[in-house]
Amino acid sequence: MISTETRAALGHQALARRLTEAEQNLARALEAIFASGQHDLAAVVQRLNEDGVQRPSGERAPWSLEALQRELAAINSSLDEAYTQSGAMIA
């Protein structure tokens, strides 16, 4: 179980840096897809391809489940790194 202090700190991890335009575009696309009621990840990937959403990494290959996982992991890692470098440490 995550402590209240850790949960509060995690809620602010993205404040150490702004999302890039490409990261914001992906976030908006995912929000729109999920808001439409689609939650099956294979269908989400299909919509990302249909909608021409660019990968934040700049890679130009079509989206796949693995590519989505890699992109989200890379974004999360980058946000975690920026948070740590900002001097804010999670207890």
Buried b / exposed e across 1-35, counting CB within 10 Å, b at 16+?
eeeeeeeebeeebbebeeeeebbebbeebbeebee
* Residue 91 binned pLDDT confidence (cut-offs 50, 70, 90): very low
Query: Residue 2 has what pLDDT?
Result: 61
Calpha distance 48→66 (Å, rounded): 13
Six-digit token string for 26: 């992906």
Classify 35 as helix, strand or coil: helix
Query: Residue 18 has what pLDDT?
Result: 85
pLDDT digits (tens, 9 = 90+) for 19-73: 999 999 999 999 999 999 999 999 999 999 999 999 999 999 999 999 999 999 9
- Quote the radius of gyration of the chain (alpha carbons, Å): 15
Spans of all domains in the chain:
4-85
